[in-house]
Structure 1
Amino acid sequence: MMLLQQEPLFDPQQYISPLVSAVTTVVLFIVVFAVIYLLGKYFLTRAVERTLEHRGFDETLISLAVSTTVVITGVGAVALAATVAGFGVVLAAFATLAGALALAVGFAAQDLIANFVAGVFIIQDEPFSVGDWIEWSGNSGVVREIQLRVTKLDTFDNERITVPNSDLANAAVINNVANDRRRVSVGFGIGYEDDIAQARDAIIDEGSRIGGVLDDPEPTAPVTELGDSAVVLSGRIWIDPDESSYGAVRAQFVEAVKERFDAEGLDMPYPNTELSGGIEVTNVGAGEEATGD
């Protein structure tokens, strides 16, 4: 009988070469990734941080830019390491998937991204800062916190408003305390028979007596309107918004002038309508009764 020679079912030698190749590829990928990531992170983040600090950017934006640089460095390190290690096909598939995912996320989060970008510009351009009294789109409040996505404000009724940054970035924002001087203007009406010079002196004198009112520019009260029922003088005083409250000074101004006008007999007329002509009254009931007889 012939003995048939059979090959062993398991030959370890045939798996050694592929295993060594796989281990070498993985090690090469890890080494290249570590080197590129660590060196890139060290040099790029320091360069970005120093550049932004030199240009006077806000600390929040610098921190954001550094974090973004770290992420970009990591992605770049993965791409370069995969290319060097021979993972080109996997890398291409990953890039396609990542692109499709980024597009989907971009459509889904476009409002969030818009608020985020607007927050970056608000922090950098500084149209207002914490503590400022601002007005926008018929709203007003005192800024309490500026975040990358929203800005938080307090109203004068002590209500908290959270506003998306895109709303503020796209609106005309009035910063009432941005400058070192703020004018307080109040219209005071007097009768056509009253003395304009007397009223002007009363307005200017009372305005200058209010605490916090600046001497330069000095208070004025020009005639600004000839209304239907009154001659209107605009009382104008100036304050430092950092030192005095606009609302409080305006309230004092209005009350002081009203009391002064009352004391000096100056009329503050309100709108009224005068009807002229005649009215004929007919007794309809009596007429119907006479006709029936």
Structure 2
Amino acid sequence: MNLVNILFHRLWEMATEFIKLLPQMAIALLVLVATWAIVRFSRRLAERMLSQTDTRGTLVNLGETLIGVAIWIVGILIAMSIVVPSVTPANILAVLGLGSVAVGFAFKDIFENFLAGILIMLRKPMRIGDMIECQDVAGRVENISLRDTHLRHLSNELVVVPNSFLFKNPVKILTDETQRRYSVTVGVGYDVDLDAAAAVIEKAVRSVEGIDADKRIDVFATEFGDSSMNFTVRWWAGSKPIEMHRTRDGVVRAVKRALDEAGMEIPFPYRTLTFKEALPLTRAKETGDHARPAGDEDDKRE
């Protein structure tokens, strides 16, 4: 019976304390609602101000996020101080400082990607819509968040890449400029005049639609191949992958057509076989219009 009374009195005291805290909790709730409204207004104001500058879209999103996080931290600290007056912002920050070590070890990868995302947005020239390559990952950048980056493969698969991976490894941005240089290797026969072949190849490349004829078109004789003299042919065109494929296809077709018309051979690999001993050659005997194997003659005599 005494145990029941003790539990009853304890619950009554807790209910009484809770009722006393209701006004303070209501005020804290109003503070949180006001914080939410201030965050929305601040993010819209920041977006409007930053959009009028040359700031990239990823940096605009970063600025909005950081502003929102800072305001929420202040609002939550104020609300906690209202509900529990003995807990001051200094005490809360001290507790957070002690707990940050354990949290840092537990969520190391998350914080690493978070910081890498901020640094990518601040330092990297990577933009939404760029085609990039990083080790064995390639695709078009669709979104850069604080934790990961979304890449869309040319075959339409979506790859979610941790920001720390992109930050630690070299990233090739294929569309950083509107144009880039491409090359193919063209081989001609050893009996072909190289100066005449180079002139034919350059003229053919200049006729291809989509290349920049105002920039240099290089035709360099580069090596003595197994069965051909090889040229490296280089030209400039748009940096998008589809422009690379279109111009490369056009160059290969145009060069092949021009060399054929000029009577210049594009040789395929030749192979010469040598033997240590001479091979015996026999002539098949013919019966009528068709040759018969030697075994047939033996069977006939039997």
TM-score range relative to shorter protein:
0.5 to 0.7
1:166 aligned residue (164, 170, 180):
164
Q: Give the Å deviation of 1:101.
A: 4.1
Residues in 2 aligned to 1:56 and 1:256: alpha-carbon distance in whole angstroms: 44
Q: Which residue of 2 aligns with 1:115?
A: 113
Offset of 1:62 from its aligned partner?
Answer: 1.0
1:186·1:235 contact (CA, 8 Å) conserved in 2?
A: yes
* Aligned partners of 1:183 and 1:239 also within 8 Å: yes
1:213 to 198, 211, 227: 211
Shift of the 272–81 alpha-carbon distance from structure 1 to 2, 3 Å rule, reads farther
**Structure 1: distance between partners of 2:256 and 2:271:** 23
Look up the SS of the partner of 2:101 in the other structure: helix
- Give the aligned residue type for 1:246: M
Q: What residue ranges of structure 2 are gaps of 5+ in the alignment?
A: 1-15, 281-302
Match of 1:198 in 2: 196
Whether the aligned pair in 2 keeps the contact of 1:116 and 1:148 (CA below 8 Å) is yes
Task: Measure how far apart 1:102 and its partner are.
Answer: 3.1
Structure-2 residue corresponding to 1:65 = 66
- Mapping 1:1-293, distance limit 5 Å: 53=50, 56=55, 58-74=59-75, 77=78, 85-87=85-87, 92=91, 95-96=94-95, 98-241=96-239, 245-276=243-274, 278-279=276-277
3-state SS in 1 of match to 2:159: strand
Partner letter of residue 191 of structure 1? G
Deviation at 1:61, TM superposition (A): 0.9
Aligned residue for 1:10?
A: none
Q: Note the residue ranges of structure 1 that are not aligned, 5 or more in a row.
A: 1-18, 283-293
Q: Is the 8 A contact 1:212 1:243 kept in 2?
A: no
1:253 partner SS = helix
Cα distance change on mapping 1:270 and 1:117 into 2, 3 Å: farther
Cα distance in 2 between the residues matched to 1:67 and 1:133? 31
**Superposed CA offset, 1:169-193 (max 9, x none):** 2221111221133112111111222
Secondary structure (helix, strand or coil) at the match of 2:219 reads: coil
Q: Distance in 1 between matches of 2:208 and 2:241?
A: 13
The alignment covers a number of residue pairs equal to 251
* 1:244–1:154 Cα change, 3 Å: closer
Aligned amino acid, residue 193 of structure 1: D
Give the Cα–Cα distance (whole angstroms) in 2 for the partners of residues 106 and 246 of structure 1. Answer: 45
Equivalence for 2:295: none
Mark the CA change 1:168 to 1:273 in structure 2 (over 3 Å): closer, same or farther: farther
* Runs of 4+ off more than 6 Å: 78-83
Deviation readout 1:238-282 (Å, 9 max, x if unpaired): 113369711111122112212322333322234455454523789
CA distance in 2, matches of 1:276, 1:226: 22
Q: Which residue of 1 aligns with 2:5?
A: none
Shift of residue 75, structure 1, vs aligned partner: 5.5
Given residue 104 of structure 1, which amino acid in structure 2 is its aligned partner? A
- CA apart distance, 1:230: 2.2
The alpha-carbon distance between structure 1 residues 107 and 161, as it changes in their structure 2 partners (threshold 3 A), is same
User: Alpha-carbon deviation of 1:121?
Assistant: 2.2
* Alpha-carbon distance in 2 for matches of 1:142, 1:200: 37
TM-score (norm 1): 0.68
TM-score (norm 2): 0.66
Identity of aligned residues (%): 27
